[in-house]
Every structure is written in C-alpha cells, then in structure tokens.
C-alpha cells in the first residue's frame, strides 16, 4: 500500500505553512509536468510560479513570496531544502532485504551488526567489521581490516582498500575507489622509486561520495573526509588531504597531496588545487580555477591562477577586448612616431 501523509504533516517536516486544505492526503512527490492529483510538486523558478494552476498536483511547494493559487500551497523559506526533505520522506529508507548472498565471499574474523545486506559477487576480506543495516551491492570489494559504520550503503563495483574506516550513514556510489595508493615516487635522476603508502582513508559520518571518485590513502597517517562532505562524480582526492565538514566538491575536482580544505567550502567543477595548500573555511573556488596559493577563509576565487572573483570578472571582461586594444595601441604608436618625426630631431 502506498504511503499517505497530510499536507500539515509535511509542513511540520519542513517548517512550512499551509495555504488551503491542511488535511489533504498525498501519496508521493513528482515533477511539475508529470504529477498526479495525489502528488505534491515543486515550483520555485518564475516560469513555474506563473503556471502553478496548470499542474495536476494537488499541492505545490513554493517560496513565501509566491502568488496565491487555487492549489494547496506549502509555503517555505527554502524550497530546495523542502524538496530534499519531502523527497527523502517518500523515497528514503531501506529497499533491500537483509541477508548475505551465498555467492559472496566472506573472509575470516568477520563481524557484523544486524540486518546487513551483502549482494552476489561481493568480496569481504579478513578482519572486516560492518555495522547495523550496512548494504554492500554487487561486486563491491571490502579489503582486510576495513570498518564500516551503521546504515552505510556501498553501491556496485566500489573498492574499499585495506584498513580504511567508513563512518555511519555514508553513501558511496558506483565505481569509486577508497584507499588506492597515493601518488608517491622519489626520482634519482634516471628512475622513480615508489614510496610505500601505509596510511588509511577515514570517511566520517553522513558523507556522500559520487560515482568514480578516487580517494587515495595517506603516505602516513590518514586522508580524512570529515562529516557531511558531499562529492560529485569523478572527483580525485590525493594522499593526506583533509576535507572539512559540509564541504562540497563538484564534478572533476582534483586536489593534490597534503591540501587542507576548511569546512563549508565549495569547489566548483574542474577546479584544481596544488599540493600543500590550504583553503579557508567557507571559501568558494570557481569552475576550472587553478589554485596555486592558499585561499583565505570566506574568499571567492576564480581563474587560473586563482585570483579574487571580482578581480577575475574584470580581467575576463578585458580578455575579449585585447585584439581591439592591440589594434588601437599600434595606431597610437604610429601617430606618436609620425608626430615626433614631424617635429624634427630633438636639440
């Protein structure tokens, strides 16, 4: 049977106010143009706010400033946050039965909590510990000595290498590798000699790691992904990096070794950070920025090499004008030269 909930219950979940029938019962959440009458939907952009009455949904999540409507409205301060919470309410929770597949390999000295799910093709090494409600999807590899906390979900083809520690309520999406060797080599002028990477990766609680991430183990100590960090797909985090709480790393971000990133930072798509630098708390690094020196807390940085964002806007505005500026400069040089020639030689 489908879940039913009243609009008032959803309002309590998201600290919103209801305009219309508080007792209206809903069964799900759906896109604006695909919703059915027993759905709630979402409208925040102006083009959707103008046509709220056109959706088939009976209730619409809207900002406080939205116009009145014949629909039941759930007015909130932050529509995107409300969308996340309500969608999680309808679609969150465990969806797989507990149990260990007979087609999984489980090593010695294995310990686990209750209601774990281990799919076919999973390989679990020796001395592994899993908490309650852990889900290991098909073809996951969990190497020797790994610890995984309660309610963590590991999607297919993820590899978690030796001795790494994964916290509670962590989500690791398909194809990611946690604890691969850091890129450490010493050259003698002719050849490179590998520096053993003997540290670990520690992933704290409530982290979500996107698909095909590569998070390298430390040379010594730990590479540390702190609580609440969210990474997009195709992110690389090198050895001994520390990522602060609730920081967001967008697709194709690359962070070199021994970098410290503060809490609540945003690194936009394809941003790159050079080794041994620090990014201050609540800093924002723009897309494709190349960071070659440390960034102070709270600063917004763009471009390569990274400079303050407002300065970068001025610079980028000039770049497209450089050919015309060069043309004018040559004209001015010629006019000055002609003027000097017409005045004769200096006495």
Active site residues: 239
Q: Please tell me the distance from the alpha carbon of residue 150 to that of residue 169, in angstroms, as a whole number.
A: 6
- One-character DSSP codes across 274-319: -TT-EE-TT-EE-TT-EE-S-B-TT-EEETTTTEEHHHHHHHHHHH
Instruction: Give 2's Cβ-side CA count (13 Å radius).
Output: 10
Backbone angle region of 21, left / alpha / beta, with phi > 0 → left and psi within -120 to 50 → alpha: beta
Q: Tell me the angle at which helices 309-319 and 322-342 cross, rounded to the nearest 10 degrees.
A: 60
CB 302 within 8 A of CB 286: yes
Question: How far is residue 45's CA from residue 81's CA, in Å, rounded to a whole number?
Answer: 14
Q: How many Cα neighbours within 13 Å face the side chain of 108? A: 0
Q: CA torsion, points 77, 78, 81, 84, in degrees to nearest 10?
A: 90
> Which residue has 């009145």 as its token pair?
68
Query: How many helices and strands, by DSSP H and E, does the chain display?
Result: 5, 40
Question: Would you call 331 exposed, middle or buried from its count of C-beta atoms within 10 A (0-12, 13-18, 19+)?
Answer: exposed
Q: What count of Cα atoms within 13 Å lies in the side-chain half-sphere of residue 71?
A: 29
Instruction: Name 149's Cβ contacts closer than 8 Å, sequence gap at least 6.
Output: 131, 134, 166, 167, 168, 169, 170, 205
Q: State the Cα–Cα distance between residues 71 and 49, nearest whole angstrom.
A: 12
Given a contact cutoff of 8 angstroms between Cβ atoms, the answer to whether 26 and 8 are in contact is no
């Amino acid at each position: 049977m489908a879940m039913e909930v009243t609009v008032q219950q959803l309002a309590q979940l998201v600290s919103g106010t209801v305009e219309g029938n508080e007792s209206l019962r809903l069964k799900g959440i759906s896109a604006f143009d695909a919703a059915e009458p027993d759905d709630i939907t979402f409208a925040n952009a102006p083009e959707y706010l103008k046509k709220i009455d056109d959706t088939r949904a009976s209730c619409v999540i809207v900002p406080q400033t939205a116009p009145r409507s014949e629909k039941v409205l759930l007015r909130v301060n932050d529509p995107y946050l409300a969308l996340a919470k309500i969608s999680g309410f309808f679609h969150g929770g465990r969806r797989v039965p507990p149990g260990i597949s007979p087609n999984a390999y489980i090593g010695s000295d294995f310990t686990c909590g209750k209601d774990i799910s281990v799919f076919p093709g999973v390989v679990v090494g020796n001395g592994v510990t899993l908490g309650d409600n852990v889900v290991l999807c098909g073809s996951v590899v969990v190497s020797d000595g790994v610890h995984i906390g309660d309610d963590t979900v590991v999607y297919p083809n993820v590899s978690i290498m030796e001795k790494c520690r994964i916290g509670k309520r962590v989500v690791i999406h398909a194809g990611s590798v946690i604890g691969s060797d850091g890129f450490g080599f010493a050259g003698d002028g002719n050849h490179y000699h590998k520096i053993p990477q003997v540290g670990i990766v520690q992933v704290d609680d409530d982290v979500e790691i996107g698909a095909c991430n590569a998070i390298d183990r430390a040379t010594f100590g730990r590479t540390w992904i702190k609580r609440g960090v969210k990474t997009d797909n195709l992110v690389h985090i090198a050895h001994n990096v520390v990522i602060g709480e609730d920081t967001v790393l967008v697709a194709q971000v690359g962070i070199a070794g021994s970098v410290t990133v503060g809490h609540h930072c945003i690194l936009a798509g394809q941003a790159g950070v050079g080794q041994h630098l620090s990014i201050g708390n609540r800093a924002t690094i723009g897309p494709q920025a190349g960071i070659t020196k440390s960034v102070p807390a709270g600063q917004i940085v763009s471009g390569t090499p990274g400079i303050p964002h407002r300065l970068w806007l001025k610079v980028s505005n000039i770049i497209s004008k450089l050919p015309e500026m060069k043309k004018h400069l040559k004209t001015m040089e010629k006019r000055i030269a002609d003027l000097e020639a017409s005045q004769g030689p200096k006495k």
